[in-house]
Structure 1
Amino acid sequence: MPRQVDHGSRRRLIAEAVCHLADERGLEGVTLRDVAARAQVSMGAVQRCFRTKEEMLVFALGHIGERIGERVRARLLGSPAQSAGTALGHAATELSLLREEHRAEARVWLAFVAQAAVSESLAGILKANYATLHEAFTRLISEAVEGSGRADGAVRLDPHVEARTLLALADGLTAHVLIGHLTPHEAHDVLHAHLARLWE
């Protein structure tokens, strides 16, 4: 009997290989042949999972986005009694990829962001991810303002604008840490100083 292949697991294995190669060489250095070698599968196996390199990159971007999203959700669910402001801080910190153990992930994420500037399919995935995050951040900011009991703050703050600002800040801090302009500690301070000003 032929051995059954778990295509979902194989696609994730290949996505991990893409991410490792992108971390080492950037996306321009990712070839189907090298991905197959890194994933320890045949070229045919890669081509059965993905018809084109673009399709493979789209899946890999979705894979890394899911991994980051899972960590954000875990932080939010880990302490259900936390305030909306605290939850927002945890989510933004996870999204910024400032910790040393997430440095490779940050390099890969920004490689995909750069490639998305010339790839409509990758841009579509990123826009969908950012839309989901924007919605979550908007809700948390609205809840935090209401929970603060400061009606004047609710008037001053536009949660949609503040959510966009926070998403842009998180991505910017990721880049500044990667190139060495800021240390992770300095970036963390910038992020939390910004969050503290929201509730002043």
Structure 2
Amino acid sequence: MPKQVDHDERRRQIGDAVCRLIASRGLDAVSLRHVAAEAGVSMGRVQHYFASKDEMLMFAFELVSERVASRLGAVGADDPAAYLRAVLLELLPLSEAAREEAPVLAAFLAHAVVEPRLGEPLRRGSGEMATWLAGMITAAGGPGDAEREAKALLAFVDGLMLQVLIGQVTAEVAVDLVDHQLSRVLTRG
């Protein structure tokens, strides 16, 4: 009986290798040879599943985005303000999973500046996230322009993520800064 091949799992295996390479060595390290070596497969197998480097990068971005969405979906809290705080903290490289994903996300953010194809899903995802956060701000009783505050919080957390990644800000300071910023947003009149 022929062996059943799970093609989706093989693509994920290669996509995971792309993410590991990006996290450890940056986007420039993503090549057919390096990805194949990292995944422990032949270059032919990589080519079978991905026609180009761009296709591998887009797939890796989708994988990381799905993982972040899954982590955010697992966040729970008793009240809207605590829930909002938990979500914002989950976007920072504080947990092991987030520390693995953050360098990949940061590399994609930087690459999106020069690659419009990658910028589009980032813009769309950011817009959806801002709308969702605005709803949370409103539910938590935040006064003022919730949409504007949500966009400001996302920009704040993106910048804070980079500062934590490069060691400019510790995890403890990052949590304190999120608490400070969130308090300011929820009490602003």
- TM-score clears 0.5: yes
Q: 1:112–1:122: 8 Å Cα contact kept in structure 2?
A: yes
What is the Cα-based RMSD across aligned positions, in Å? 1.5
Query: Which position in structure 1 is the counterpart of 2:148?
Result: 161
Q: Secondary structure at the match of 2:167?
A: coil
Q: 1:138–1:163: 8 Å Cα contact kept in structure 2?
A: yes
Q: 1:94-150, CA deviations, whole angstroms, 9 ceiling, x for partnerless residues?
A: 0122345532321121011111111122112211221221121011011111xxxxx
CA distance in 1, matches of 2:26, 2:96: 19
Q: 1:32–1:53: 8 Å Cα contact kept in structure 2?
A: yes
Q: 1:177–1:183: 8 Å Cα contact kept in structure 2?
A: yes
How many aligned positions are there? 187
Which structure 2 residues correspond to residues 1-200 of structure 1 after superposition, within 5 A? 1-76=1-76, 79=77, 82-99=78-95, 102-145=98-141, 154=143, 157-200=144-187
The residue type equivalent to 1:27 in the other structure is L
Q: Secondary structure at the match of 1:96?
A: coil
Shift of 1:199: 2.4
CA distance in 2, matches of 1:143, 1:101: 28
Shift of 1:90: 0.6
Q: Secondary structure at the match of 2:75?
A: helix
Query: Which position in structure 2 is the counterpart of 1:148?
Result: none
Gaps of 5+ in 2: none
TM-score by length of 2: 0.92
